[in-house]
A and B are shown apart, each in its own frame.
Chain A
Amino acid sequence: MADFPVQFNPALNQARLAGSNMVFHCHYYNCAVHKAIEETLGDQATGLFRETAAAAVRSQLRHLIDTHDAVITRFSKGRTLFQQLGFGSFDAQQLTSAGGVVVSNSSHYALGWLSQYGIRETPVCQFIEGYLKALVEIAYGLAPEQVAVRETDCMAKGDANCRFVVEVSDGEDTHGH
C-alpha cells in the first residue's frame, strides 16, 4: 500500500498525485533521455535537469507537506515519497538547517546508468539534486535561491555511494527547529 496514493483516471488514462501528472518510465528511457540532452547541451544540461526537477518536486511537496508538520516529519514524507516513486533511497541524518550531506546507497539514475552505459566521469543524479533542493527548501521554509545541492560522489562514477552536499546560504531556520 502506497503512503501517497496515485489517483488514476481511466477516462483520460492519466495518473495524478498531489496536483502533478505522474508517468511510468523505465531506467532505459530515463538514462537515454539524460544522455540525449547531455549530448545536446553539454555542461548546461546539469543545471537544466536540476532546476526542472526542483520545480516539479517543489510544486508537489507543497501539497503533501503540511506547514504544521515538524521538520523531521517533513523529511520523512519527502523520503517516503522518493522511495515510493522508485527513485531510490537516501539518508539525510547529517543535514541541518545550515546544510550538510545527504548520502544515497540506492539511486535509480546511478544504477540505471551503470547497467546501460557503464562507468562515467561525472555525476548523473541531477534529478536527485533537484529533488533534495526542493525538499530542503520546503522542510526548512527557505527560498529557492537559498539552497544549493551538488552531487560530489556518484555510484555511476564508481564511487561507493552517492553523496550530495547541501549548502544553505544564510543558515537560518525559519521554523525554529
Chain B
Amino acid sequence: MAIDENAVVAACSHLPLIGNEDGLIPAFGLYLTRHYADFYNRSSFEAVRQVEQYRPEAILQTEAGLIEAGMLCAFYTFGGIMLSQEWEAVVTPMIESDDDWVYGVIAVVNSLGWGKWRLEQLIPGERLEISIANSYESAGWIGHYPRSQRPRCYLAQGGCAGIMNLLYQGDIRQAPALNPDYFQEIFHSPGSFRCQEIACRTMGDDMCRFVTTRTL
C-alpha cells in the first residue's frame, strides 16, 4: 500500500472549497455544499421512523432510496474526484497498483468530514470491508433516538458500494463519462456491488462495519 493517507487528507482538507460570488462551489464536475450533518441525519431518520411506525411494509423501499442517494453521491463525487486534476496531482504519484485506487479514494473520503473510514479487507473485484469508528450518521442517531434494531448508515452503504462499482464493475481508471447511463450500467446491472452494514453503533456495536460484495 503506497498511499500516504495523512498526506492525502492534509492536501484535500486544505482545498479552497468555499462558495464563489454566486454562493456555489463548483468542483469535480458537480456542485458541492458544506452541509449540516444534523440536517440530513434528522431529515432521514425522522422519515424512516415515520415509515417504521405507520407503514413498516415500506421500510426497505425507504432505506433503498436513501442508499441510492449515497450511490449517486459516490458515483459523481468519488468518480469526479478520481478524474480530477487534484487526484492527478496528489494521489496519482502514490499509486503503485490498481488496489491503491481504493486506498486513495478512502483517503479522500477521510477529508470530507464523514468520520474515520478504515479499509479492513480488499479482495479486488470481489469484496471490500470497511469500518468507521465514528460515522456521522451513527453519531446523529445516538443521543437523539433509542438503540436501533437496524443499521442506520445509509450514505456510507451507498458510498462503499460506489467505490467497488467504480473500480471493479466499471473502470474509472479508463476515464469514462460520468452520466446517468453509465451509472445505471455499473450500479444496476447483474453483478453490481451492494453493501451490507453488518454492525452499527446505533445498535450498540463498537463501530460501524460494511461488507460490499457483488449481487448474484
Contacts and interface: CB of A to CB of B under 8 A. Distances in A.
Interface of A: 2, 6, 8, 10, 12-15, 17, 20-30, 32-33, 35-37, 39-41, 44-45, 48-49, 52-53, 55-57, 59-60, 82-89, 105-106, 108, 111-112, 127
B43 A13 contact: no
Given A40-B47, A86-B34, 6 more contacts: A23-B114, A25-B73, A26-B73, A27-B30, A83-B23, A88-B24
B31 A52 contact: no
Contacts of B46: 48, 52
A21 B136 contact: yes
Interface residues of B, number: 55
Which label, helix, strand, loop or mixed, suits the secondary structure of the B interface? Answer: helix
A82 B32 CA distance: 13
A10 B113 contact: no
A28 to B, nearest CB: 5
Contacts of A35: 65, 69
A86 B136 contact: no
B134 interface: yes
Contacts of A59: 38
Which label, helix, strand, loop or mixed, suits the secondary structure of the A interface? Answer: helix
Given A13-B115, A37-B44, A29 B72 contact: yes
Residue of A2, A25, A87 with most chain B CB atoms under a 10 A cut-off = A25
